[in-house]
Structure 1
Amino acid sequence: MEKLRKYKISTKESKGIIDDAMSRYPQLSSLITKRKTSLEVVDLGEAFVYLYNGLPVLVRKENFLIPFIGIIDKYGLDIPKITVDLGAVKFILNGADVMGPGVKDVDERIKEGDIVRVVAEEYNKTIALGISLRNSDKIKERGKSVRNIHHLGDRIWKSIREHITSDK
């Protein structure tokens, strides 16, 4: 297991991150109950994971602040959803982008550049988060529709799972 760099950030910096996250994902208020707190940060090099009371809640990757994938379904975060068929799941879980032909259903709110969650059709569980490359009416067309930035089984997910379970 690799050694992760972990440190606390100031209450002021934490408050700014929490406020930013709450404005995008209001349902996080059921999880993050105190805005005046000092978040812990796990530095993974290509991403930062923010821990609230030891629980991974947010990821900053490529200047995007997104929820950690493990909390999305658990806390019912209202992130626009794209449902993919089971044939697409294994590719997405290996880091592939979402291609139009694998999309079964699309949230009509989606605009190009939005953070979206990718859900496996049969299980209705979030398997990835990404950036929409198209508006909702064009997502099912041939070509890339969503750029995958965080998925179950990726380095962020594995590192945090190892780190959290090894700390206990």
Structure 2
Amino acid sequence: MPKIAVKKRHVIRKSQITELLDRLTSEIGPSAELFRSDRIERVETDASVELYLVDKKPLLMASGDWAFPTLRGLVEHPLPERRVTVDAGAIKFVANGADAMRPGIVAIAPDIREGRPVQVVEERYGKPLAVGIALLDAADMERQEKGKSVKSIHYVGDDIWNLEI
């Protein structure tokens, strides 16, 4: 399994912290304040997303116009927003990087938008299993009977999860 190579890391300016937190707020609302810190570092890697260290822990990732917590960020600061809940039968697949399929989804938060990041959580304890990109809006996902609903981009045990800094 290829490891993520850390090329550089540097502390970002206050203006960049504000811009990052604004992007995060547009995704998860007021819960973005949980990630506020005076020291946020940007890590340059060969990963497909930008990684940010909040107090030396990889808690945030960003791509394009969105920012979202990593799984470590979601474990450390559980969020009620942007949740897709899967049943017990889907846990092992989603935790190993599979996309979330509609038959296994038991609950969908109404704030989910197509093309935006969501957290995939398990039904019993609400623990995050993956971060993915929603393939449909919440209303369309509710109507969907089968097929992919969330494309997985970060899951338990992947390179971002195992990143040692």
User: TM-score scaled to structure 2, two decimals?
Assistant: 0.80
Q: Percentage identity across aligned positions? A: 31
Unmatched 5+ residue regions in structure 1? none
Distance 1:46 1:113, change over 3 A: closer
Deviations, residues 11-62 of structure 1 (Å, cap 9, x unaligned) = 143432233224433323233233xx55242413323211122121211246
Distance 1:2 1:43, change over 3 A: closer
User: TM-score scaled to structure 1, two decimals?
Assistant: 0.79
- Confirm or deny: 8 A CA contact 2:37 2:55 kept in the other structure: no
- Confirm or deny: 8 A CA contact 1:81 1:116 kept in the other structure: yes
Answering whether residue 135 of structure 2 is matched by residue 148 of structure 1, we say: no
The letter for the 2-side match of 1:19 is D
Distance 1:50 1:142, change over 3 A: same
Q: Which residue of 2 aligns with 1:44?
A: 46
- Confirm or deny: 8 A CA contact 1:99 1:143 kept in the other structure: yes
| Paired residue total | 159
Residue 132 of structure 1: CA displacement? 1.4
Residue 7 of structure 1: CA displacement? 1.6
Deviations, residues 112-155 of structure 1 (Å, cap 9, x unaligned) = 23322111112310111112112323425111111111111111
Note the aligned Cα RMSD (angstroms): 2.4
Matches for 1:6-155 after TM superposition, within 5 Å: 6-11=8-13, 12-25=15-28, 26-34=30-38, 37=39, 39-61=41-63, 64-139=66-141, 140-155=144-159
SS in 2 for 1:117: strand
Q: Provide the rounded CA distance (Å) in 2 between the counterparts of 1:101 and 1:84.
A: 9
Q: 1:4 aligns with which of 6, 9, 12?
A: 6
Q: Provide the rounded CA distance (Å) in 2 between the counterparts of 1:114 and 1:47.
A: 14
